[in-house]
Amino acid sequence: MSFAKLDDLGRKLEALEHALSILGADEATHMAVGGGEKRAEAMSNLAGMYHAQATAPEIADWIEAAKPENEDQQRALAEFKRQYINATCLPTEFVERRTAATMRSEQLWRELRAKGDWDSFLPALEGVVTLVREEAQLRADALKLAPYDALMDQYDPGNRTAELDGVFADLKSFLKGFVPEALEAQAERLSKRPIKPLNGPYPIEKQRELGLAAMRAVGFDFTHGSLAVSHHPFCGGVPTDVRMTTRYRTDEFLSSLMGVLHETGHALYEQGLPKAWSHWPLGKARGMGIHESQSLFVEMQLARSPEFWEFALPLVHLHLGEDAIPGWDIEDVLAQVNFVERGYIRVDADEVTYPLHVILRYELEQELVNGKLEASQIPEAWDAKMTEYLGISTINDPKDGPMQDVHWPGGAFGYFPSYTLGAMIAAQQWAALEKAQPNVRGAIAKGDFSGINQWRSDNIWSQASRFSTPDLITRATGEPLNADFFKAHLKQRYL
């Protein structure tokens, strides 16, 4: 009987999640400007209802008394318990303090980042760091984990620094030597064949049709999803009604197309989750690292490969016109989409340098959480790592240094590792898939993604949250997370 109560709870929570997700997606895309105040009020009330139902005291009794009838229910019960502990381990008084502090910190960040005014921002960030340490300890006590592991577990259940430290250290050591090699190889290629300029303008409607065609080709189900425009591209909504967005520039089309393909990777995962479990925590996507691996698989493994452009170049000509990129061939497109350069900004970084931006943050936030580093020491510590890892200094540029991301001002510690984990998992999945389907590159060149999507459905999407992140990787690819696959991918593409 107790599991039936959990099942009923799951359906009620799913209904509220559905409403919040669709309202949130609509706010970012179609809501009238004057609708903001009432929309915020509606979503706040729904979020309050969700929290009250998800943290009700009787749920603990239901979990304790539940008697699962099969393996799926047993795993579902474990996820209900994990979700309940995470929802209830922070006292209401603490949540209120944290919410007020992070909201004020984010507001100050938006105001002061453009000026690079670190000194004025520092007191707010110090307050957030103090609260994050408190949260980390509260979660650690409830989950029986080390403080930083307890924060990471919110985003990727099962990930632990004991394993990630070694994987990231190995990758960092490789990349510090590989970045100069990749830049040298690129310079040699470009000396013989310079990058060709894009031949804009590209009308937005034509770009939209190209994006829709690419989405359809890689497997997006338009009976359960749609594409809109927003200031920042995202994939939201719910699995049965995925709301994807992009943004357009008329002077070039590649950034929108690659963004569409990235978000389509997220969407395919959501659309592929098991519908029978959709109202259980067990039926949700496993975590941020796995989710990012699905989007990066489409964007990086597929859409930046020569085989993909054998298929996609005629699609560009069909939708944008034969004179859209006059005289271009596949090599010209690859030179654009796989361009490597050292830069200050994480979100603008290429596939080669991006992990170093993430590893820098991963190392610093561990020290911040564990008390080995204070917020006031961040600029010097940040600059030392940027100089060592990428050969560029940010000591006099906090705007493009430690003030560039919203994560720390918003109190989101433990999130950054997911970005690079996603890239590594995607490369490891590709290696496993290519082993299982030796002719997969030929299929991509013909625009046939059915075998790829079937493999990913069997090994990732249909599994939802049945396993921890590390276990899911091992089951899907045959071994634990291994940086060698990502390193081999970079060597093959950039050297």
The pair phi, psi for residue 246, each rounded to 5°, is -145, 180
Closest CA to 195 of 81, 340, 385, 320: 340
What's residue 185's pLDDT?
A: 98
Residues 219-239 pLDDT 10s: 999 999 999 999 889 999 999
Which phi and psi angles does 226 have, rounded to 5°?
A: -155, 170
In 3-state terms, what secondary structure has residue 280? coil
2 band by pLDDT with thresholds 50, 70 and 90 = confident
Q: What is the pLDDT of residue 1?
A: 65
| Residue range 340-393, pLDDT digits in tens | 999 999 999 999 999 999 999 999 999 999 999 999 999 999 999 999 999 999
The 3-class secondary structure across 67-123, one letter per residue, is CCCCHHHHHHHHHHHHHHHHHHCCCHHHHHHHHHHHHHHHHHHHHHHCCCCHHHHHH
* Cis before 201 (ω within 30): yes
Annotated binding site: 262, 266, 292
- pLDDT tens sequence across 465-483: 999 999 999 999 999 999 9
CA distance 421 to 281: 22
pLDDT in tens, 29-51: 999 989 989 998 999 899 999 99
> How would residue 160 be classed by pLDDT, with cut points 50, 70 and 90?
very high
Q: Are 432 and 249 in contact (CB under 8 A)?
A: no
Q: What is the pLDDT of residues 320-348, one digit of tens each?
A: 998 999 999 999 999 999 999 999 999 99
**What pLDDT does 455 receive?**
98
Q: Let me know if 166 is exposed, middle or buried by CB neighbors in 10 A (0-12, 13-18, 19+).
A: exposed
pTM for the structure as a whole = 0.95
Say if residues 381 and 144 touch (Cβ distance below 8 Å): no
Give catalytic residues, as residue numbers: 263
At 342, is the secondary structure helix, strand, or coil?
coil
Q: Which residues of 76-104 are buried (b: 16+ CB within 10 A; e: fewer)?
A: bbbbbbbbbebebbbeeeeeeebeebbee
pLDDT at residue 232, rounded to an integer: 85
Locate the domains of the chain by residue range.
1-67, 184-343+418-494
Residue of 66, 126, 78, 76 whose CA lies nearest to 102: 126
Burial of 188-205, coded b for 16+ CB within 10 Å and e otherwise, reads eeeeeeeebebbeebeee
The architecture in CATH of the region 184-343+418-494 reads Orthogonal Bundle (1.10)
**Over the chain, what is the mean pLDDT?**
96
Mean pLDDT confidence for 128-154: 97
> Using one digit for the tens of pLDDT, what is the confidence trace for 70-109?
999 999 999 999 999 999 999 989 999 999 999 999 999 9
243-290 pLDDT, tens digit per residue, is 999 999 999 999 999 999 999 999 999 999 999 999 999 999 999 999
Order of strands, sheet of 241-246, starting from the edge strand that comes earlier in the sequence: 225-229, 241-246, 235-238
- Indicate the annotated binding residues for Zn(2+): 262, 266, 292
